[in-house]
C-alpha cells in the first residue's frame, strides 16, 4: 500500500533541490575529468592532452577529435565575444573554464559563474598555470547561481553560455536581464543541446554499432541491440542528463528571435558526436573516420535530412530592440 502511494506521488524535487543536485553532478564530473592531474578540454583547450579512458565509462580526452567535431563553432563563439577590444564578457555556467580562459587570452575582462565549486577550483588552477600571459585580460571566477546575481545595466559587451542556457530555469526572465545587462550592440551567444529525433538516433546507433569503441566490445554491442529489439533494455532516456538540464532547450530560440537581432543560427552534429568521442583505434584511422563522418553529418544537416543535436545562436542587442 505504502509502495503504491509512493508510486502515485513520486517526489518532484524543488528548484532549490535540483540546483543542489546540479552542483553535485558537476562537482563529480570536474573531479573525474581532472583525475590523475589530467587537463580536460573543458578546462583548457590549448593545454589538454590526449588521454584514453582509465575505467569503463570514463571520458576520453582528445583535443584533435573535438577540433574536428566542433572546433569551428568554438572559434566562432570566441570571435563574436572579441568584437570590442578589451571588452567585458559574462560567461554563464562556465564549468572548468575553457571559454573564459580563451576570452582572457584575447585580452577581454571576463566574469565567469558556475554552481560547481569543484569546476571553479579546476578553472582557477588553470588560470594560475596559464602559460599564455602576454596581452592577457582578466578572468574573475565565482561559485554562484547566475540567475541570482545582479547583472547590472549595460555592463557587458557580450554574454555567452556554451551548453549552459538550457540549464537555467525561468529563462524568459533571465533573457530580459541579459538584454538589460548588454551594452547597445552587445552580443549574446548560446550553444545548447536539442532533443534527438528518431532518424538521428537511429543513424547514431548504427555508427556506434559499426565503429570500434572504448566503452563496449562488439559482443556487448550485439547483446545491447538484441535487448533493445526484445524491449528488455530499461535504460532511462534521461540517464546522463544533469538535474537542471533540458527543460528550457526549446525556449531559447524564440526568446532570442523576439528580443534580439539574430546574426547566426546553426544546427550541427546530428549523430557524429557520440560514436566519435569513444572511437578506438590508431589515430590515423580515427581521424580519417572522424572527418568523413562529420562531413556526412554536416551534409545531412545542411540539406535538412537531419536536424543537428547542437544549436548555436549568435544575436545582437539592437538599439531599439
Ligand X SMILES: C[S@@+](CC[C@H](N)C(=O)[O-])C[C@H]1O[C@@H](n2cnc3c(N)ncnc32)[C@H](O)[C@@H]1O
| By CB under 6 A, residue 168 contacts ligand X | yes
Give the one residue of 66, 69, 110, 115 binding ligand X; rule: CB under 6 A: 115
Size of the site for ligand X (CB under 6 A): 21
* Stretch near ligand X under the rule CB under 6 A, chosen from 115-123, 203-211, 257-265, 289-297: 115-123
Which grid cell sits at 219? 559482443
Please report the sign of the dihedral spanned by the C-alpha atoms of residue 96, residue 98, residue 103, residue 104: positive
- Least distance to ligand X, CB of residue 114, Å: 4
**Contact, 139 vs 112, CB < 8 A?**
yes
**Contact, 78 vs 57, CB < 8 A?**
no
Give the one residue of 44, 59, 111, 114 binding ligand X; rule: CB under 6 A: 114
**Contact, 247 vs 168, CB < 8 A?**
no
Give the one residue of 66, 68, 70, 113 binding ligand X; rule: CB under 6 A: 113
| By CB under 6 A, residue 243 contacts ligand X | no
| By CB under 6 A, residue 249 contacts ligand X | no
Smaller CB separation from ligand X, 167 or 311:
167
| By CB under 6 A, residue 311 contacts ligand X | no
**Helix, strand, coil shares of the chain as percentages rounded to 5?**
45, 15, 35
Which of 287, 266, 282 shows the shortest CA–CA distance to 67? Answer: 287
| By CB under 6 A, residue 126 contacts ligand X | no
Q: Pattern 260-279, binding to ligand X, x per CB under 6 A?
A: --------------------
Q: Which CA distances in Å does 119 have to 7, 98, 124, 295? A: 35, 11, 9, 33
Q: Pattern 42-61, binding to ligand X, x per CB under 6 A?
A: x-------------------
In angstroms, the CA 159 to CA 190 distance is 9
Smaller CB separation from ligand X, 116 or 273:
116
* Angle between helix 15-33 and helix 117-129 axes, rounded to 10 deg: 40
| By CB under 6 A, residue 213 contacts ligand X | no
Task: Give residue 86's region: left, alpha or beta (phi > 0; psi -120 to 50).
Answer: left
* Stretch near ligand X under the rule CB under 6 A, chosen from 47-55, 70-78, 159-167, 300-308: 159-167
Smaller CB separation from ligand X, 113 or 156:
113
CA angle 21, 253, 79 (to 5 degrees): 90
Q: Which residues bind ligand X (CB under 6 A)?
A: 22, 26, 42, 93-95, 99, 113-116, 119, 145-147, 162-164, 167-168, 244
Amino acid at each position: 500500500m505504502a509502495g503504491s502511494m509512493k508510486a502515485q506521488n513520486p517526489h518532484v524535487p524543488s528548484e532549490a533541490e535540483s540546483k543542489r543536485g546540479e552542483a553535485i553532478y558537476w562537482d563529480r564530473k570536474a573531479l573525474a575529468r581532472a583525475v590523475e592531474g589530467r587537463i580536460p578540454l573543458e578546462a583548457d583547450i590549448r593545454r589538454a592532452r590526449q588521454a584514453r579512458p582509465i575505467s569503463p565509462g570514463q571520458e576520453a580526452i582528445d583535443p584533435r577529435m573535438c577540433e574536428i567535431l566542433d572546433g569551428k563553432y568554438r572559434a566562432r563563439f570566441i570571435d563574436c565575444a572579441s568584437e570590442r577590444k578589451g571588452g567585458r564578457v559574462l560567461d554563464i555556467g562556465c564549468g572548468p573554464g575553457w571559454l573564459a580562459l580563451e576570452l582572457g587570452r584575447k585580452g577581454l575582462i571576463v566574469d565567469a559563474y558556475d554552481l560547481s565549486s569543484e569546476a571553479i577550483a579546476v578553472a582557477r588552477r588553470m588560470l594560475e598555470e596559464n602559460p599564455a600571459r602576454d596581452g592577457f585580460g582578466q578572468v574573475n571566477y565565482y561559485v554562484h547561481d547566475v540567475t541570482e546575481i545582479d547583472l547590472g545595466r549595460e555592463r557587458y559587451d557580450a554574454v555567452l553560455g556554451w551548453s549552459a542556457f538550457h540549464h537555467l530555469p525561468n529563462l524568459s526572465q533571465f533573457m530580459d536581464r541579459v538584454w538589460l545587462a548588454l551594452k547597445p550592440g552587445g552580443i549574446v551567444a548560446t550553444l545548447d543541446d536539442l532533443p534527438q529525433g528518431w532518424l538521428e538516433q537511429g543513424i547514431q546507433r548504427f555508427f556506434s554499432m559499426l565503429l570500434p569503441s572504448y566503452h563496449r566490445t562488439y559482443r556487448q554491442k550485439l547483446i545491447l541491440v538484441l535487448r533493445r529489439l526484445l524491449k528488455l533494455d530499461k535504460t532511462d532516456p534521461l540517464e546522463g542528463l544533469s538535474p537542471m538540464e533540458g527543460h528550457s532547450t526549446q525556449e531559447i530560440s524564440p526568446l532570442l528571435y523576439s528580443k534580439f537581432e539574430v546574426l547566426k543560427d546553426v544546427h550541427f552534429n546530428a549523430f557524429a558526436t557520440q560514436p566519435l568521442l569513444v572511437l578506438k583505434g590508431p589515430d590515423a584511422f580515427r581521424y580519417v573516420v572522424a572527418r568523413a563522418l562529420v562531413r556526412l553529418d554536416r551534409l545531412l544537416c545542411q540539406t535538412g535530412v537531419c536536424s543537428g543535436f547542437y544549436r548555436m545562436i549568435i544575436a545582437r542587442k539592437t538599439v531599439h530592440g
